[in-house]
Amino acid sequence: MQLLGCLDGVLHRLTLPGEGFADRVRFANKLRQDAVDYLGIVGASSAADATLDPNATILADGLMSALRLHDPNLADHSEATAEYARRLAIRIGLDAGTVARTTLAARLHDIGKMRISRTIFSKPMPLTSAELEEVRSYPATGARVLADLPALAAIAPLVAAHRERVDGTGYPEGLASSGIPIESRIVAIADTFHTMTLARPYRQSYSTNEILAELHAASGKQFDGDLVTAFVDMIGYRARVARSA
Domain coordinates of the chain in residue numbers?
A: 72-117+126-244
Q: Report pLDDT for 17.
A: 55
Backbone Cα Rg of the chain: 18
Consecutive 10-residue runs of the chain (245 residues): their mean pLDDT? 56 58 55 51 42 84 91 94 97 95 97 87 81 93 94 96 98 97 98 92 85 94 97 76 44
Q: What is the pTM of this model?
A: 0.79
Peptide bond into 201 cis (omega under 30): no
Output the CA–CA distances (angstroms, integers) from residue 200 to 100, 104, 186, 197, 206, in the order listed.
30, 25, 23, 10, 10
**Identity of the amino acid at 243:** R
| CATH pick for 72-117+126-244 out of 1.10.10.10, 1.10.260.30, 1.10.3210.10, 3.30.420.10 | 1.10.3210.10
Q: Report pLDDT for 243.
A: 46
For the chain, the helix, strand and coil percentages under 3-state DSSP, each to the nearest 5: 70, 0, 30
